[in-house]
Amino acid sequence: MFNKTISDKMQKLITALLLVLITSAISLAQETIKDMGFTDMFIIAGENTAKYGKVEIFSDAKIDKLLQKHIAVNSTNSGLKGFRIQIYFNSGYNSREEALRIKSEFETNYPNAKAYLTHQSPFFRLRVGNFRTRADAMRFEKELKLVYRGCWIVEDKIEFPSL
């Protein structure tokens, strides 16, 4: 009986000790590279630190060049896929002036919606709104059809919504 009591106490002690060790190991494992901020992962990997060790990366120069090109292209991408409503699309002698007039008229009538005038030679086009879904665009298009009969929904890169 005495042996069984010591054995039970010892078993409980070992279980408690293991539980504490496992809990502390899990909490230490929660520290990740994201805690270090936004830096180049290749620079971080190449640094020799006691905390993370050292990683040597061997790669072709073409891969580095491609990666830099990818970063450059994506850094200029300031938007996301969405929908706009095109209310004007024309080319011709005074199409620019007409597009500017329609844009001004639209901004007066709809001060909460943005208008975007673009020129893709030889056409001027005026698109309005920033809609994440086609359904949102359709609701606004229905309202616009009363004034701009020839308007239609187009896929476009839209601005990020304001927070």
Spell out the domain ranges in the chain.
Answer: 2-74, 80-158
CATH superfamily of 80-158: Sporulation related repeat (3.30.70.1070)
Per-residue pLDDT of the chain (163 residues; tens, 9 = 90+): 556 666 788 888 888 888 877 777 666 655 544 444 455 666 666 666 666 667 777 778 888 888 888 877 777 667 789 999 999 999 989 999 999 999 999 999 999 999 999 999 899 999 999 999 999 999 999 999 999 999 999 999 998 777 6
Four-residue CA torsion sign, 103, 114, 127, 70: positive
Cα–Cα distances (Å) from 19 to 13, 24, 139, in that order, read 10, 9, 58
pLDDT for 51: 67
pTM of the model: 0.55
Structure confidence at residue 88 (pLDDT): 95
Show the DSSP H helices in 34-115 as ranges: 41-46, 61-76, 95-109
Q: Check residue 42 and give its pLDDT.
A: 63
E strands of the chain, at which residues? 80-90, 115-120, 123-131, 152-158
**Residue 106: CB atoms within 10 Å:** 20
Strands 80-90 and 115-120: unpaired
Give me the count of residues in the chain: 163
Beta bridge partners of 90: 124
